[in-house]
Structures are given as structure tokens and as C-alpha cells.
Structure 1
Amino acid sequence: MAIAFNNSYARLPERFFASVRPLQSPSPALIQVNEPLAADLGIDAEWLMSPAGLDVLSGRTIAEGSEPIAQAYAGHQFGNFQPQLGDGRAVLLGEVIDRDGRRRDIQLKGAGITPFSRSGDGRAALGPVLREYLVSEYMAALGIPTTRALAAVTTGDAVMREEILPGAMLTRVASSHIRVGTFQFFAARGDVEGLRLLADHVIERHYPAAKSGENPYRTLLDAVIAAQAVLVARWLQVGFIHGVMNTDNMSVAGETIDYGPCAFMDHYDPATVFSSIDRAGRYAYANQARIALWNLTRFAETLLPLIDAQQEAAVEQAQTALSGFAPAFEGAYFGRFAEKIGLTEKDPDDRALIDDLLKRMEENQVDFTLLFRHLGQAVSGDDEPARSLFVDPTAFDGWAGEWRARLAQDGREAGERRAAMDRVNPAFIPRNHQVEAMIAAAVQREDFAPFHRMLDVLSRPYDDQPDAAALAEPPQPHERIAATFCGT
């Protein structure tokens, strides 16, 4: 078998999914195969790049052992509940056990119409496929839990959006594609048996320690809350804005999933929004923790009949679990930001120091990524790179005096401190204007060199790469991207 499928979700009752065959691409061509990831999954990358592999990656053939399905789920989209959503343009080919013994989904995104497509065409345009490949692999390189990209192909057909665009498919890998919205699908139907089967599947797959807990379903809730608290804190520490934090886009496995209109901040502004459909700023940068808790509250609601047969007791347990989100998030958020400014020993007063820096950055339109990277140079005695990012450089000076006094209490050699800071402050992010230029090159000229170049540089985000210095530069005023699009 070219891919050693070992499927479990397809063993669940039929109401969990619909069996469906992927769209067959008319004339596919390979853009990229993720060879290291293929090796992790026990898949021969050379086979993936062969005509037989390309046929599987483009939906033309069904690999042995594959049981293609579209998963059912519901979800709150911008706060409005939709009782049936589901995979409208994605097909789960099956699951594999990777070389570390972890179960992983392999899914084709942009694989055509499914019973859940509603009025969509089920296909994907080239631009969003390249964006998701690049950004998800960048997040993996940062060490942030995420779905992964195994391959990207062009399909040879045209996709109608605001204009006619080349079609593409992404092969996505995830610990699972089970979402908060998957639980909502069964809860909305009063299907307690379905909820229990789903929860048991998630516990077995993602949180096996919960099986030995006094109340496994309460333990499941605690585990998902903790995972999401840390995940969103990690997003904020690199300036990431998901863009569509609907409950159907929140993975119960604690991975970043569904990179539609996602983007990274250039200058620091907590109100930053990029998604063209987020007109009210619901999913702005600074709102992401609050929305995560809102989503988790919806998740907790679905588990109430499993947590306790008595509604009042179940609600009390759920509320207690949800009260753990704030300390978990704040611990991860301030702990990592302390590392970003070079602190080793934690002190409660560090929160004020961090908040003061962020306030000064906002007032001076300071580039988020460059400032934290340049603080490493300031530790070594060179303030100018960081100082020059401020409209009013004295704003940096006022903060830096307190910062240096705090560093003096921390007891660490400057070179060691800078090296530690460079391990948590990336030198490169996927700059929005550069991502858009990369997409334009591929869509308009069939030039994939910028994509491959960015992918190579961003796979080493913490390394100084002098030959790629242009990719670290923030946009000029005329290059700024005001809106990103989800691609559907």
C-alpha cells in the first residue's frame, strides 16, 4: 500500500458523515510535496510525486484503503448558529498512524461538491491553497500546533469567484478534523448517543488520560479548554489573526485549522482586522481570547448531558471548567511575552512592563515582529534598530530604562539572553503584501518561484538569513494589505 490507511472515523455511524468521491481534476500538475512530512507519515515522497501519487492528490483515483467521506458538523458563524454545515469542499481520504504512533487525518481540500456544499461549488482557487500551505507550514516551523500541508496541486480547471481563477487542491494533514461544531451538530438534534460516541472517539484519539478520570467528559472539557487557551496565546505572541474563529473552525485537538483570511500584523494595533467579511471586528487580534472562551462555552453546552444527568450539576461543573480558561491563557500569554523580552525568572510585576511596551508600540505604530527581534540587539547594547521603529524614539527610551533595571535582576549573561530571545522572536513572518505578491505571480504568470522561495525562508523563521532580508521588511504605505479573503 502506498499509503497505509488505518481509518477510525469511518467506523462511526453513518450519520457522522457522507461517503463521497473527490472531484477528478482534468489535468493536474504538482506544485509542492512536503517531503519531511511525508516521511513522518510513513509515505514515500517519491511515490507522491509520481503520476500515481499525483492522481491520488488530485482526486483522480482512490488509493487502496482510502474511504473518502465528508464530515458532518454545525457551527456558529459570526455568532449565528447554523445547524448543518459540514465539509462542503473537503474530503477526508482516511487516517494513517505516523512514525510516532499518532493518528493523523489526510484530507483533500477543494475536492468538489459534497452533500454539505449548500450552494458552493466545492472547489478551491489557487491563491487560498498557496496561502494555507505557506502559513500552516510556517506555524509548524514556529512550533505552534497546526494542521499541516502535505501537497498542493493545480487541477487544470477554472474556478469562478469575483473573477475566473485557476483551480487547485491542498492535501491537508491534521490530528483530526473534529471541531466544536461537530459536537454542536449532534447537540442540536438532541442526539445524546451521537454525542457520547463522538466524545468517546475524541477521548480515545486525543486525550486518552481522560479515560481514567472520575468524570471523563468533564476531563475532556478541561483538556480542550487548556489546549485552546495555550493555542490562542501562542497566536498573539506572533501577531497572528485567524480571521474566522467560528465554532466550526475550532479544532477540539487544539490545532490551528482553516487558514482562510488569516494574516499577520505588521505594526502593532490590537484592533487589527483583515478578513473582508469581519466587518464588525468580531475576530480582531485582541478579541481572539474572548472569542475562544465564547466558543468553548458553546462546546461545554454540548457536553452537559454527558457530564451529569442533573442539568444544574452539569452546568456548575461546566462553569467551573470554563473559569480555568483565563488563568491558563494569561499564564501562557504573559509567560511567553516575558521570554520575548528576555526574562527568565517570572515576576507578577512583569505584566505591567509588558503592557507598557505594547501600549507604546501601539501609540508609535511600531512593527510587531521587528521590535521584538531587535530587542535581542538591544540586550547586546545596540538600541538603535529597536529605537528607530518608534515615531517618537524617546517612547522606547522611557520603557528601556525600566526594562534594563528588570534585566539586571534576572541574572543572565547578555549573549545567552539574546540567543534565548532569538529562539522565541521570529525574524520572519509571512508578510501580507509579500504573500499577495507571491499569489499574483502564481495566478497571473504561473510563476511559483516566489512561493518556493518564501516557503524555504519561512521554514527557518528564527534564523538570521541575510540573503532574504527583503522578506523581513514591513510594507511601504502603498503596499499595505487592508483585506484578506477566505476563497469560497
Structure 2
Amino acid sequence: MHFNSRYSALPAKLYHHQQPLALKGAKAGHFNAALADELQWSEADKAAWVEICSGQKTFAEFEPLAMVYAGHQFGQWAGQLGDGRGLLIAQIIDKNGQTVDLHLKGAGSTPYSRMGDGRAVLRSVIREYLAGHALNALGIPSSNAVGFTSSTQGVQREKLELGAMMLRTSDCHIRLGHFEWINQYQPALLPEFTQKCIEWHYPQCLAAEQPVLAFAAQVIQRTAVMIAKWQLAGFAHGVMNTDNLNITGSTLDFGPYGFMERFRPNWINNHSDYQGRYTYQQQPSIGHWNLWTWLNNLIPLCPAGDDKAQWKEDLAKCLEQFEPAFLEHYTLGLCQKMGLPSFHKDSFDCAMAFLRVLQSEQLDYTQSFIRLQNKQYELIKDDCLDLRQFEAFLTQYHGIRGLQDTAELDAAMAKANPRYILRNHMAQKAIELAERDDFSEVERLFQLLRQPYAPQPDLERESDLAPLPGDQPEVAVSCSS
């Protein structure tokens, strides 16, 4: 590996050094060999992946550390938080010359664990491992993972479960909540910390007249695009606290996530979200709220001698770009999914009409777009009760497409509509087998989800392509992990 150990060069108040606490009886779960290659792991590193991914082996080039940060959780100030069960164990250079964090999850308690035990259980590790893999394959910036290990050690949750560890990768673990913690508890560190964030992640902003404003604008832009990509894929993060969004617009800490199946925008996929704050339909507005909260922490960076009221206004103007950035990316992506020209004045309205059909008829989001792509209109119609609503949509749809050369539009559809998503019941099946030491279903899903747009008849099962039958309860997912 090629190390770039930069975070530990920051002031020591921002983290706590400690070694991981290995689980008893660690054993192999699954290894992402392709990602290890991208990260320039040596053959010796690959051979020792179980030891690395279970906290038994660390690196002389980087002393593991737990980050401290704060955050708003479910809209309420939660005070000091931090890495309560994870450690940054290395920062390394990948094949593209980019610095990547290696973060070991389930590594034991830290000073920031509060009432937690610092552990992770096998079911949550498998869910995050497969989801990060799936999101990256869908072209959605996200954390990923080199591998995970199971163990013989029990961890108490609602019941006694198997403990596990996962070696997560991300381009950045600096969260919006880092700025909240610094502003609240160590305000003198804010200028230096922000400067390093810009140097590491947005160096192009250094040449701007106001680098902090340029930085803020870039964070807002990337976050808006990330959330638009979530919406297009039908992905619900589940717990969009300010400490779970990072500054590079890559998906992080999505434990109680869900890929939407039947199109229900108000579906609560995290059963701890009693008010429905983090439903699919709320994600854009919550993203805006989180960024507004974050921008308040940049107010103290007003340049000396400048008018603070004007500085606040300038920060607010940065946030004004969130909605148009989101809508531009979402509109373009939705038109691609529909096979409609984005420049046509009625394309977006037609796409909304299709979504209304999916919502009122409770049709499967992913499967319905595949049927539309394959021109299987009768299959969609057969599942509809309100035939007039569907026929009205289809008439408008054909009217717009009939004026175009559709070959290019069809090609865009094929690249925009995945055949496979990680449905909750698919992940649950893999978890149930893994808890019996059978990781074959994890491997099958890993291979299936790495090429979500291409039919894979040798790998797929009928249950991969549809929601559970209506008489079977959905898999409930909680924050407990």
C-alpha cells in the first residue's frame, strides 16, 4: 500500500488514537479482490486480508484513530458524537492517485461510544457491504468495502448476535458534523480545519476570490447531485443526520437504508424513524436543511474587515444553488430513465404522470422502468386498476417519442435503468445463510450487483426481480447494528 497519512497531522483534539480490539474467533466473510487491486494492495496484504479486516493487523505507517464530531440527529442537536465503533486505520493512495480512507467498523469502544459497546453485528455489516457495492455499481458515489469478517463472539442487541467487522473505504470521512463540533467546542481550530478540507478535497477552490464560499458551493453542488442520484435509483438512506453526510457528496453511514420496491414515496424504511423524517420523498428537503445547518458553522470564517451581514448573505446565496442543481440532475436523469428528450417541454410532466401511475397502482419502481424500456406496455397495463390513467400517460408518452429518433433515447434508457437492486428480502436471505456460516448468497449477490444493468440469467433468481408478495410482511430495518 502507498500511504498518505494526513488526517493525523491535524490538531490532536480532533481525534483519539487507539488500536482496534479484535473479535474472538474471527473468520472470513467476503473479500472484494477488485477493490483491493484498485487500492494497490500488495500480495502480502491480500493474503492477510482476514487479519486486516478483523482488527488483528494494523500498519506502522498510520496509528489508528477515532474521529470526534457532533451532529443534529432527527432534527435535534445531539451534542458530541464521534466514531463510537469505528477507527480510521489508514489513508492510502489508489491507482488513480486519490487518497482513500480505510475505516474499520466494529473495532471496539472509543471515548465517543457513549452507551454503545463499539461492536457491529453480522447482519448490519452484510447489509452495508452489499449496499456500498451496489451503489458504486449504479454510479452513485458511495463508501465501499474491501471485505468483512464474521466471528464466534456474541454481541448483544435485541438478541445475542454474531459480531463482525468490515473494512470500509471512502474518499472522505469528514462529515458536516465535524464543523458543528469544532464550532461548538474548539472554535479556534475552524480556520485551519476548513483550510485543510479545501486543500485535500477541493484544491481548485484555493484560487477563488473567496475560497470558503467556493468550497461551500462545491459541497452543496455535490450533495444535491448525490441526492438526485438516490432519488433516481429509488434509494432511501434512512438516517440523514448531519453527522451522516460528508463534505464530498458520497454516500456514508446508511445502516437502515432501503431500495424502494413498490413506489411509495412516504415509505418509512427505518423503523426507528417514527415521524417519517427520512423517507424517500423527504430526502431533498432534508439535504437542504442539513446544508443550511452546516453553513451556519462557516459564519465565523468571515474574512477580517468584511461585513458579516454580507458574508451571511453570500453563504445563503450558495445554498440557493441546491434546488436548481438537484432539479437539473434529477430532471435529466428521469428523462433518460423514461427514454424522453430532456429538451421537450412536456417530458418532465410525462415522467411525473408515469410516477403517479406507479404510486397509485403500487407498482414496482425498478421493474416498471425495465418494462417501459423493453416496451412491455401491456404488462404494466395488466397490473393497473385505473386503465384510463395509464392510457392517458401512454398517449402522451408516445406523442413525445413519436417526434424523435428513438434509437439514442433507447440507448440512454438501457444505461439508466438497473435490472437489479438490493431488495431487502435479498439481503435478508444472504444474512440468514451467513449466520449459519454459509456465505454463498453473499457471493451470488455480490456478483449479480456488480453489473446491475446487464441481464444475468445464470445468476439471477425470480425473487431478485420483484417485491415480496403482498401477503408477506416487509423486512423491517432498524438503526441497531
TM-score (norm 1): 0.95
Instruction: Tell me, yes or no, if the aligned pair for 1:153 and 1:168 is still in contact at 8 Å.
Output: yes
How many residue pairs match? The answer is 477
Mapped pair 1:133 → 2:129: yes
Find the residue that maps to 1:186 and give its secondary structure.
helix
Instruction: Tell me, yes or no, if the aligned pair for 1:90 and 1:109 is still in contact at 8 Å.
Output: yes
Q: Which residue of 1 aligns with 2:262?
A: 267
Instruction: Tell me, yes or no, if the aligned pair for 1:433 and 1:480 is still in contact at 8 Å.
Output: no
CA RMSD, Structure 1 to Structure 2 (Å): 1.5
In 2, distance between residues paired with 1:345 and 1:82?
42
Instruction: Tell me, yes or no, if the aligned pair for 1:237 and 1:333 is still in contact at 8 Å.
Output: yes
Instruction: Tell me, yes or no, if the aligned pair for 2:132 and 2:142 is still in contact at 8 Å.
Output: yes
**Among candidates 252, 259, 281, match of residue 257 of structure 1:** 252
Q: Which residue of 2 aligns with 1:409?
A: 403
Find the residue that maps to 2:402 and give its secondary structure.
helix
Displacement of 1:403 in angstroms is: 0.5
Deviations 1:20-67 (A, max 9, x none): 1101222211111111111111113x43453x4322221113223121
In 1, distance between residues paired with 2:298 and 2:388?
53
Instruction: Tell me, yes or no, if the aligned pair for 1:89 and 1:110 is still in contact at 8 Å.
Output: yes
Q: Which residue of 2 aligns with 1:315?
A: 312
Q: Which residue of 2 aligns with 1:359?
A: 356
Mapped pair 1:114 → 2:110: yes
In 2, distance between residues paired with 1:250 and 1:157?
31
Mapped pair 1:385 → 2:379: yes
In 1, distance between residues paired with 2:449 and 2:385?
29
In 1, distance between residues paired with 2:342 and 2:173?
38
**Among candidates 176, 180, 183, match of residue 172 of structure 2:** 176
Q: Which residue of 2 aligns with 1:290?
A: 285
Find the residue that maps to 2:87 and give its secondary structure.
strand
Instruction: Tell me, yes or no, if the aligned pair for 1:17 and 1:71 is still in contact at 8 Å.
Output: yes
In 2, distance between residues paired with 1:66 and 1:411?
56
**Bigger mean CA deviation after superposition, 22-31 or 332-341:** 22-31
Displacement of 1:319 in angstroms is: 1.0
In 2, distance between residues paired with 1:53 and 1:420?
39
Find the residue that maps to 2:148 and give its secondary structure.
strand
Q: Which residue of 1 aligns with 2:23?
A: 25
Instruction: Tell me, yes or no, if the aligned pair for 1:367 and 1:389 is still in contact at 8 Å.
Output: no
In 1, distance between residues paired with 2:141 and 2:302?
27
Q: Which residue of 2 aligns with 1:455?
A: 446
Mapped pair 1:373 → 2:378: no
**Among candidates 1, 4, 13, match of residue 2 of structure 2:** 4
* Structure 1 residues not aligned, in runs of 5+: none
Instruction: Tell me, yes or no, if the aligned pair for 1:59 and 1:111 is still in contact at 8 Å.
Output: yes
Amino acid aligned to 2:276: G
Q: Quick one: percent identity of the two aligned structures? A: 35
**Among candidates 41, 44, 57, match of residue 43 of structure 1:** 41
In 2, distance between residues paired with 1:12 and 1:155?
34
In 2, distance between residues paired with 1:161 and 1:234?
33
**Among candidates 217, 220, 225, match of residue 225 of structure 1:** 220
In 2, distance between residues paired with 1:481 and 1:197?
47
**Among candidates 326, 331, 341, match of residue 329 of structure 1:** 326
In 1, distance between residues paired with 2:136 and 2:57?
29
**Among candidates 468, 478, 481, match of residue 485 of structure 1:** 478
Instruction: Tell me, yes or no, if the aligned pair for 2:339 and 2:410 is still in contact at 8 Å.
Output: yes
In 1, distance between residues paired with 2:371 and 2:191?
50
Q: Which residue of 2 aligns with 1:473?
A: 466
**Among candidates 406, 410, 418, match of residue 410 of structure 2:** 418
Q: Which residue of 2 aligns with 1:165?
A: 161
In 2, distance between residues paired with 1:155 and 1:318?
48
Amino acid aligned to 1:458: L
TM-score (norm 2): 0.96
**Bigger mean CA deviation after superposition, 356-365 or 293-302:** 356-365
In 1, distance between residues paired with 2:467 and 2:104?
33
Instruction: Tell me, yes or no, if the aligned pair for 1:91 and 1:111 is still in contact at 8 Å.
Output: yes
Instruction: Tell me, yes or no, if the aligned pair for 1:113 and 1:121 is still in contact at 8 Å.
Output: yes
Deviations 1:235-260 (A, max 9, x none): 01111000000000001111000121
Amino acid aligned to 1:430: L
Deviations 1:208-257 (A, max 9, x none): 11000010000010000000000000001111000000000001111000
